[in-house]
Amino acid sequence: MAKSKGGEGKKQRLDKILSHVGYGSRSELRKQAKQGLITVNGVIVKDSSAHVDPYNDTIEVDGETVLYREHIYLMMNKPPGVLSATEDKRDRTVLDLLEERYAVFEPFPVGRLDKDTVGLLLLTSDGQLAHELLSPRKHVPKTYEALVEGEVGPDDVAAFAEGVRLDDGYVTLPAQLTILGRERGRLIISQISLTITEGKFHQVKRMFQAVGKKVIFLKRVSMGNLPLDANLPEGACRELTSEELKLLRTEI
């Protein structure tokens, strides 16, 4: 792994830095330091409480260069059947799908996808970014693709563009509904794309319910300017690239 560049140069305790990125507890790191397994800029450091610059010093543990970052930003292709939560006593959560190298950062989902909804889910340890993305004031667009039982037509497109009244009386903000196709069999199934700029509970399903139709499959394909990686297998996740993170930040 390569060392992260471009930080502010603020020094921190060596054991705090290494425990933050998953190299062990402070007591474990103290033992590794005493064994001569930790170096900073090529020099063995036997005091794990020493202060170093995690961004501009080269830190190695047992010959492996440490990649330090304060926060982690992950894209997951959420599968069905798991909860967008940090913990649950009965069901698996998206955190249960993470590799240990990601889990050590204790990321959390940015917003929620229903248990049976799939697609793009962001996870991060950056609370400020999550707050900005979810803020009702920002109106960050989210695009979904869905299969809808019933014939979605021009009247529905017009209704969604005006905003529809949900079952609790709330009128949604205008949304962009696009009809992608239809399958005619025993039932008519409409293929649609929908972009909304808010995140009410079960909003997409309730919007179609408001016009007398039922969503039978739902997938989020983008959030802001960030699209779901089409090559990311369902249930897998990876870190955002610097360019993807920039795309995400352009919305806030």
| Rounded Cα gap, residues 203 and 210, in angstroms | 10
Q: 88-98, pLDDT tens digit by residue?
A: 999 999 999 99
Average pLDDT over residues 64-83: 94
pLDDT at 101: 87
Decide whether 73-137+226-251 matches 142-223 in CATH topology: yes
What's the pTM value of the predicted model, to 2 decimals? 0.83
Average per-residue pLDDT in the chain? 93
For the chain, give the DSSP string.
Answer: -PPP-------EEHHHHHHHTTS--HHHHHHHHHTT-EEETTEE---TT-EE-TTTS-EEETTEEP---S--EEEEEEPTT-BSSS--SSS-BGGGGS-HHHHTT--EESS---TT-EEEEEEES-HHHHHHHH-TTT---EEEEEEEES---HHHHHHHHH--B-TTSPBPPP-EEEEEEEEESSSEEEEEEEEES---TTHHHHHHHHTT-EEEEEEEEEETTEE--TTSPTT-EEEPPHHHHHHHHTT-
Average pLDDT over residues 196-204: 95
pLDDT at 67: 87
pLDDT at 20: 87
Asked: is 142-223 a CATH 1.20.1250.20 domain? The reply is no
CA distances from 35 to 23, 28, 32, 44 (A): 15, 11, 5, 10
Asked: is 73-137+226-251 a CATH 3.90.1150.170 domain? The reply is no
Average pLDDT over residues 127-134: 94
Q: 201-227, pLDDT tens digit by residue?
A: 999 999 999 999 999 999 999 999 999
| Rounded Cα gap, residues 193 and 49, in angstroms | 54
**Domain residues of the chain, as ranges?**
12-65, 73-137+226-251, 142-223
From 88, 114, 126, 156, active-site residue: 114
CATH class (in words) of the domain with range 12-65: alpha beta
The band of 9, judged by pLDDT with boundaries at 50, 70 and 90, is low
Residue 6 has pLDDT above 50, yes or no: no
Active site residue 155: no
pLDDT at 10: 86
| Rounded Cα gap, residues 160 and 135, in angstroms | 22
Average pLDDT over residues 25-29: 94
The angle subtended at Cα 146 by Cα 142 and Cα 152, nearest 5°, is 110
pLDDT at 251: 73
The band of 4, judged by pLDDT with boundaries at 50, 70 and 90, is very low
Q: What percent of the chain has pLDDT over 90?
A: 85
Residue 3 has pLDDT above 60, yes or no: no
Q: Which of 1-5, 83-87, 183-187 has the lowest mean pLDDT?
A: 1-5
Q: For residues 98-121, b (16+ Cβ closer than 10 Å) or e, as one string?
A: beeebebbebbbbebbbeebbbbb
Residue 161 has pLDDT above 70, yes or no: yes
Q: 166-182, pLDDT tens digit by residue?
A: 999 999 999 999 999 99
